[in-house]
Amino acid sequence: MRDITILMDTTQGRPARFLEALFGRGVNVDAGCLFARTEGRVMHVAVEDHEVPVVHEVAVEQGATVADDRECVVVPPGFPGGVAAIGTRVAEAGVTINLAYFGASGQVVLSTTQLDKTREALGL
């Protein structure tokens, strides 16, 4: 699974058009988030590895920029103890969480300093 960071301007409706373009090309966004920054917006989407090239193509077509593309860990919904337990286990493994966001089905997407140790700590 990959976390793709996309930078876009603040044109009204741009995030929706971007997602519609992804869905139209068969990309399944497992999770994502969107937030404003001083100039523009930042969108994160979690997609399967084989879908990454399509996300890059759609970004170009939509006038957006892919700023980062990194491997991530997806914790399935219903993790015992919830988000607090996830954070505690990762911290106890000596790993730093750089990014966390949630999927519509309750999954948690993590980007950490050590993905293998993260997976091990969470039993994934």
Residues 79 and 117 in one domain: yes
Range of the domain at 34: 2-70
State pLDDT tens for residues 1-34: 999 999 999 889 999 999 999 999 999 998 999 9
Residues 57 and 91 in one domain: no
Average pLDDT across the chain, whole number: 94
Q: Shortest CA distance to 59 belongs to which of 19, 97, 105, 98?
A: 19
pTM equals 0.89
**Count of CA atoms in the C-beta half-sphere (13 A) of 7:** 8
**Which pLDDT score is estimated for 11?**
87
State pLDDT tens for residues 85-118: 999 999 999 999 999 999 988 999 999 999 999 9
* CATH code, domain carrying 78: 3.30.70.260
